[in-house]
Amino acid sequence: MKNLLSSFDDFEGKDIISEIDFQDYCGRYLDLKPFVVAMKEYV
């Protein structure tokens, strides 16, 4: 995802979220992904 976003160089310095928040978001996603996958298999 970061590679895709890096193609928008015109928007450099106009980040919606900080790098720390982005890393936190990615970490939370990775924590929740197995739970969501398991729920999909259960339903």
Among positive and negative, which fits the CA dihedral 37, 39, 42, 43? negative
What are the extents of the domains in the chain?
A: 17-43
pLDDT digits (tens, 9 = 90+) for 15-42: 788 899 999 999 999 999 999 999 988 7
Q: Are 17 and 25 in contact (CB under 8 A)?
A: yes
pTM: 0.55
Instruction: Say yes or no to pLDDT of 1 above 60.
Output: no
Token code pair at residue 13: 């310095």
Q: Which of 33, 30, 34, 2 is nearest to 15 (CA)?
A: 2
**Helices of type H across 1-43:** 2-5, 19-42
Q: Which residue did the predictor score with more confidence, 22 or 5? A: 22
